[in-house]
Each structure stands twice: as structure tokens, then as C-alpha cells.
Structure 1
Amino acid sequence: MPKHTPDNPGAQPGGTLIIIGGHEAKEGRREILREVARRVRGGRLVIATVASHEPEGYFEGYQGGFEGLGVGDLVELYVEDRTEALGEDKLGLLDGATGVFFTGGDQLRITSQIGDTPLEARIRQVYEAGGVIAGTSAGASAMCETMLVKGHSKESYRIGDLAMAPGLGLIRGVIIDQHFAERGRMGRLLGAVAQNPRVLGIGIDEDTAIVVEGGHFRVIGSGAVYVADGAGITHSNIAEARRDEPLSLYDVRLHVLSAGDAFDLGKRKPVPAEALREGVPGD
């Protein structure tokens, strides 16, 4: 089983992560939801609406979205207050679960309500047993060891204009932003990479996802995925510039991937998708 090292940032034991940029299609082909359902293998899928302050309607939307896709049982997990995640009542919803799907909202609600609780431990058990953990929008950001919480969109990054916080740590060595092209978030992703060039920045468009397994991912959906690699940065003003000054950054490497493309997180480079199907993530 691959272990996480600085040279292999994405490698994780366990099952599959499906990390979605938001607004995944719930009608028509439903390619992303279909992939989640396939990984659930006819078992129980828990729709975790924890990120929402007002979850009404979220679960019903996913009931319709997953209808006819072969999910055996669909249940909702919501935590109004952290005390619920510390008790036994909610744990029963995860009995027999082969998948958990975090919906959108506020990623800080996910980490603050279930972080380091028996509920989070049970979700990790689902993953480590070979299950699928999916997350869309806020649920995507929360997958990381460090998650983007807020920062301005549609403009160049200004020094200090970024808030980050500890995430669930299901995927390491990356930081993820969502609704990426639609909300013009390249500036803030580069700001995050500038703060720690060891970390790969991954921006995911709406109705687009990365399917992460064993240190690599492949792209599905209708949009693009952007990977910003700061390992070769030769200059940055992030530590010296005054607050609100624009970021200056040289020699950032950028990959743009679309459906069918694949990426080796350890080697920090795209690889042929055919190699993944053959079980060989790259040369």
C-alpha cells in the first residue's frame, strides 16, 4: 500500500476520492453521480449535508440525482451541533455504508462539526475499507489537509487576501479550489501555492471531478482541471510585499486537463490515461 511522503503527496491507503468542482449534473447523463454510484457497488451511500446551515432540499435533490443509478440505499447525515457527532446516534447511519458524499455549503462547518469525532473516524473507516468518499464545492475543499476557506475571486491575488484552515486530510500535498473557471479563482489558487510551493494547487470547474486513487487522478465531467505546480518557482514577493500589494511569481508550471486526462501526483506530471487502466501510473 503506498504511503504518503513528500515525494508522493497524493498517495493514500484505502478506496477512492471523487472531488467535484460543484454544480454536478443531476439530470441527463449524470456522469459524475454515475461514477459515484458505480463505486458504491449497490451499497449504502450517505449524503452528508453537514456543510449547509440550512440543509432543507439538499438530500431530496440527490435522491432525484441518484435515482436509477444502482445505489442500494440512500440516507442523509446532518449534524446540527458538534455534540451529535460525539454520540452514537448518528454512527448508525454509516452501518454498511460503502460511500459518503459531502454536499456544498461552508467547509468550516464540516471540519468544526465532525473533525476528530467518532463520526469522522467512522467515515475514515469507510474509506480505508475500500469505499468512496465524494465531495462537491465546500465538500471538495474539505478533503485536503489544508483547505482554502475564503479569498477574492475574479481578480489578481493581493498579499494577505486568503484564509486557510485545517481540512479532513483525506488527500495530502494538494490544495483544492472549486467553481474554478466560473468564478475566476486562478489568482487565489496561485496565492495559496505561493505560500507553500511544495503543495500542488488544483482548481476544478463545475460539473467536473477528479477521481483519486493511489497517488494519481483522472478527470471526468464537462469542464477542466487546472494544476498549478510551484516547485520550480524562482521568485516570489509573498513574504516581503506589503499587505494588499499584488502577488509577483516567476516560473509557475500550469497544466490544464480535461475529461480522459490523468495526473501522477507523486511525479507532478500528466500521464496517459491508458497507463492507469493498465495499473501503471507512469514511467
Structure 2
Amino acid sequence: MNIKGTLIAIGGNEDKGTGRKPLHVQDTAHDFVTSGILFRVVSEIKDPKAPIEIVTTASSIPEQVGPRYVRSFRKLGHKSVNVLTIKTREEADDPEVLARVEQAGCILFSGGDQFKLTSVFHETAFAELIHKRYINEPLVIAGTSAGAMAMTDLMLYPGADSASGMNPNVPLYGGLCLIHDAIIDTHFLVRGRFRRLAIAVCKYPSHIGIGLEEDTGIIVRRGNEIEAIGSGLVTIIDGRTLQEANPTVARGKHDIFVENLLVHLLHHGNSFRLKNMKLS
């Protein structure tokens, strides 16, 4: 399938041009205006006059999150930036909302609770429209934190991390299915999420695990070609060569044994192909 759209998945806490330092120690320094994550989002939009629509559905504070992105994108020179505050499935099917999505050059899903995204948008006209445009048009669909995690066909549920002993099951649910055969985890370094993503991949070895540090992301072109962007590392966990695995995590006890689990680390500018698993 010749997919014409572009996906941008971001690990959260991306530089918004406010001068605040990211929570993690940067591996690579990037200037917000010329090479930051949000600059890359803007640079992927083919029509500079096409609006960016910020979808704040996942957020518990949409009235704060939306304006932050509006200010950031306008600082980058993109003048047409709007906020879509969609809280219900009925609002997702509203003709006025769909008309705005039809005209957008970029849809950006903010962070928050990824389960809200799937609950609101699953099997709606909104979801059908962005899938159709993503396949057939040069639409940019971006997501940060929860917005990135919801892009895949299998989605990690928000909550306590398995490394803390609070969430032994590493539950997965259906996502928005923009990326297939993949599981994305975010805030990967600062929240110690390697264990839970590794367990998820062991459960579903046909799925590639993609761990994104904060202020770090991937650009996915043609549904297959991944480019690492941002100031941190992208961790790729490949379970398709597993020979034996016992990722059993019982209450109060954490036993995990895995043989031949492959791990790749990508930094800004590295490329990776999902279909043949080649790194460059």
C-alpha cells in the first residue's frame, strides 16, 4: 500500500520554546526554532497555509494544553493553529469538526490518558476520515505521550509501570491502528519503562516495541520508514527472534527470563525500516 501521509510520534515533554529545560539530560542539543521536535512537525506539512488542529481529548487540562501548542506553533511561523476540544463520540462525528479535519494539514493529539482517545474516537467518522486522509493525502498526524502511544494497533494502558511492582500485567488494548505490528511507549527513560515494553513485546513478539525518550520522536513515512528525531534515544525492541521467554510477573515477585531479544538504539538522524528491520 502506498501511504502518502506522515506520522510523528513524540515521547512527551517536547521543547515548546518556553526556555525550560527538558526533564532528561539531552544527548543532542536542538534549537527550538530551527531543529526542535515541533519545528520538524511544521516542516513536514506540505501546505504552509493548511491549519494545524490540536486535539486535546486525552488531556485533563485541555484549556491549558491547547493554548500552549498554539503559541509554540505560531512562534515557529505557522499562523493557522486551532484547538479541537472533543470530549464525546458525538462531538467526534460533528459535521463542523469533520470539516475542520478535512482542511487540516496536521492533526496533533496531545498527551494525557490514551484510553480517552480510543474510547472517544473508536469507530467514529473522525477516525475514519483521518485514516482515509493519511493513506491517500500528505496529511501529517502527530501525537505526543498518550497521543503517540494510541497510534499503534496495540496500546499500553496508562497507569503504574511494571518496574514499580504496581502493574504486573502490562495490559494492552486496541489503539487507533495508524501503525501496525508495533507498540509505542513514551517518557521511556525518566519513568523506567524498558521492562514493561520488553514484557509487552514478549507477549506479542510479532510487534516491534518502540521506546521514546522525552523530547524525542520518530517520523514514519510510507507506513514503514522510521527516522529518529529529537534530543534523546529511540529504543527498538524486536522479539521476532525470541527462542525462549518467561515474562511472568506474579504479585510481589518479578521473574523475567528472555533469550535472543534484540535491542537497537537510534539517535537523531538514524533510520529504521519496520518491514525488513534494517537500521541505517
TM band (smaller chain): 0.7 to 0.9
* Residue 17 of structure 1: aligned partner: 7
Give, in whole Å, the separation in 1 of the partners of 2:200 and 2:78.
37
Identify the range of structure 1 (252-261 vs 159-168) with the bigger mean alpha-carbon deviation: 159-168
> Unpaired runs of 5+ in structure 1?
3-12, 272-283
Give the total of aligned pairs: 260
- Which of 97, 117, 121 aligns to 1:114? It is 121
Give, in whole Å, the separation in 1 of the partners of 2:180 and 2:162.
27
Q: Supply the AA of the counterpart residue of 2:69.
A: Y
Residues 28-43 of structure 1 correspond to what in structure 2 (within 5 A)?
A: 29-30=31-32, 31-40=36-45, 41-42=47-48, 43=50
* Residue 147 of structure 1: aligned partner: 155
Shift of 1:159: 8.9
* Residue 260 of structure 2: aligned partner: 251
* Residue 77 of structure 1: aligned partner: 84
Shift of 1:89: 3.1
Conservation of the 8 A alpha-carbon contact between 1:107 and 1:149: yes
Identify the range of structure 1 (125-134 vs 14-23) with the bigger mean alpha-carbon deviation: 125-134
Q: Supply the AA of the counterpart residue of 1:248.
A: F
> Unpaired runs of 5+ in structure 2?
20-30
1:216-243, CA deviations, whole angstroms, 9 ceiling, x for partnerless residues? Answer: 111110000000111111211247x756
TM-score normalised by L of structure 1: 0.86
RMSD, aligned CA: 2.0
- Which of 68, 73, 92 aligns to 1:61? It is 68
- Which of 207, 219, 227 aligns to 1:199? It is 207
Change (3 A) 1:90 1:255: same
Give, in whole Å, the separation in 1 of the partners of 2:239 and 2:166.
18
- Which of 184, 208, 213 aligns to 1:176? It is 184
Q: Supply the AA of the counterpart residue of 1:59.
A: G
Give, in whole Å, the separation in 1 of the partners of 2:61 and 2:68.
14
1:223-272, CA deviations, whole angstroms, 9 ceiling, x for partnerless residues? Answer: 00000111111211247x7565422111111111111111111111312x
Change (3 A) 1:60 1:237: same
Identify the range of structure 1 (157-166 vs 254-263) with the bigger mean alpha-carbon deviation: 157-166
Give, in whole Å, the separation in 2 of the partners of 1:229 and 1:158.
25
TM-score normalised by L of structure 2: 0.87
- Which of 52, 60, 75 aligns to 2:59? It is 52
SS in 2 for 1:58: helix
Structure 1 runs (4+) greater than 6 angstroms displaced = 156-159
Q: Does 1:93 align with 2:83?
A: no
Conservation of the 8 A alpha-carbon contact between 1:21 and 1:177: yes
Q: Supply the AA of the counterpart residue of 1:39.
A: E
Shift of 1:87: 2.8
Shift of 1:122: 2.1
- Which of 206, 230, 233 aligns to 2:239? It is 230
Conservation of the 8 A alpha-carbon contact between 2:162 and 2:170: no
Conservation of the 8 A alpha-carbon contact between 2:73 and 2:79: no
Shift of 1:170: 0.3
* Residue 165 of structure 1: aligned partner: 173
Conservation of the 8 A alpha-carbon contact between 2:159 and 2:167: no
SS in 2 for 1:212: strand
Shift of 1:53: 2.9
- Which of 230, 253, 258 aligns to 1:221? It is 230
Give, in whole Å, the separation in 2 of the partners of 1:232 and 1:151.
29
* Residue 135 of structure 1: aligned partner: 143
Identify the range of structure 1 (119-128 vs 20-29) with the bigger mean alpha-carbon deviation: 119-128
